[in-house]
Amino acid sequence: MSDLIQYWKDNHEWLAPLLASLAIIGGGLAWVINLLKAKPDPGTAGVDLAIKALIARLQEKMGEVADKDQQIRQLKETVEALKAQSGPGIAEAMAELATGNTAKAEAIFRRVIDAKTEEGGAAYKQAAAAARHLGALAYLHDTDKALVAYRQAVNLDPDDADGWNQLGHLLRRIGSLDEAVKAYEKVLTLGNQVKDKSVIAMALGNLGNVYQTRGDLDKAEEFYLKSLAIEKELGGKEGMASDYGNLGLIYKTRGDLDKAEEFLLKALALHKELGGKKGMASDYGNLGLIHQTRGDLDKAEEFLLKALALHKESTVNKPG
C-alpha cells in the first residue's frame, strides 16, 4: 500500500470532511481521490510532503470559512430574534445593526444592562434580556465578552433557559466541559419544571454533544436516544436529524459501520425532506467516509463529491 494511501487511512476522519466542506478549494477533493486511485509509487518522496502541504493549506482555509460562516449565521439569528422583541434599546440597536455597526449596538445594550440593573427588582429581567442580546453579538468576535454577558444574564434571570443554553455553548467552545454540563443540566431542570419538551430535548442533545466530545460514547448515546424519543413525539424533524446524525457518528467511531450507515441515512432522509443542504452535505460526507473505510473508493468519491456540491450550493451568494 502506498504512503499516500496510508496517510489517507491515518487521517481520513478529519481530512475528508475538511475537503467536503471547502467550496473555495474547488477540485481539491477529486484531486486527492484521483491520487488515491492512481496508487503512486511509495518511493515518490514528494507525494507525502505535497499532501501535508495541501492539508496545512486546507486547515487554514477551513478555519477562515468556519469562522465566517458562524459569524454570519449568528448575526442573522440575533437580528431575527431582535426583530421579534420589544424593550429598552432594541430599536436603537437595530438601527445600528442595519448599518453593520455591531460595536455601537453592543454599547447600547451595555447601557441598558447598567441602567436596568441599577433599577433593580422587575427591571432585572430587562437587564438580562439586554445581556443576552449583547452576548449574542459578542459571540461573533469575542468569546470572553460573550461569556461575561451570558454569565451576567443567567445571574440576573436564572430562570431563562436560553441564557443557560448559550452559556453552555460558549463553555463547550473553550473546552470547559464540566461547566458546560452544569449549564445544560440547568436547561434540563428548567425544561422539566415547566414541562417544555422541546427545551428538554434540546438540553439532552447538548449534553450528548459534551459527552461525545469527552469520548464517553455510552453516555452520549444515552442522551441522544432520550432526545430522539422526545423529538419523535414532538415531530421535530430537525432535532431528529441531528440526533440520528450524532448517533451515526458514535457507531462509526465504534467501528460498527452498518449501524452508522443506518443512522446517517435516516439523518440524510430528514435533511432532504427539510431542504437542509448543510445537513445533507455533512451526512453525505460521513457516509463517504464509511465507504472509504470499507475500501469502496468509487462510492466514497460519489458521496464526498455530493457533499462538496451541496456545500457550494449552501454558501453561494451568502451575505457578508
Torsion of CA 276, 237, 175, 16, to 10 degrees: -40
Q: Would residue 153 count as lying in a domain? A: yes
Task: Identify the domain containing residue 127 by its residue range.
Answer: 85-158
Burial class (CB in 10 A: 0-12, 13-18, 19+), 217: middle
Angstrom distance (rounded) from CA 289 to CA 312: 19
| pLDDT computed for residue 112 by the predictor | 92
Q: Which residues of 131-151 are buried (b: 16+ CB within 10 A; e: fewer)?
A: bbbbbbbbbbeeeebbbebbb
Q: Cβ(309)–Cβ(285) under 8 Å?
A: no
Structural domains counted in the chain: 1
User: Tell me: the pLDDT tens digits for 87-100?
Assistant: 677 788 888 877 87
Chain position carrying cell 445544560: 184
Domain annotation covers residue 100: yes
Q: Which among 229, 235, 232, 286 is positioned nearest to 263, based on CA atoms?
A: 286
Is 107 within the bounds of a domain? yes
Q: Say which residues have a Cβ less than 8 Å from residue 144's Cβ, sequence separation at least 6.
A: none
- pLDDT higher than 80, residue 19: no
What average pLDDT does the chain have?
A: 81
Closest CA relative to residue 171, chosen from 199, 143, 191, 190: 143
Question: Does a structural domain hold residue 302?
Answer: no
Q: Are 216 and 250 in contact (CB under 8 A)?
A: no
Q: Given this model, what pLDDT does residue 168 score?
A: 97
Q: Phi, psi at residue 242, to the nearest 5°?
A: -65, -45
Residue 167 lies in a domain: no
Q: Confidence class of residue 162 from pLDDT cuts 50, 70 and 90?
A: very high
How many H-runs (helices) and E-runs (strands) does the chain carry?
15, 0
| CATH number, domain with residue 152 | 1.25.40
- Asked whether residue 300 is domain-assigned, the answer is no
What's the whole-number mean pLDDT along residues 115-130?
93
Nearest to 277 by CA among 253, 302, 306: 306
Residue 42 within any structural domain of the chain: no
Stretch 299-311: mean pLDDT: 89
71-84 pLDDT, tens digit per residue, is: 555 566 666 666 65
293, part of any domain: no
User: What DSSP state is assigned to residue 87?
Assistant: S
Distance CA 163, CA 184 (A): 10
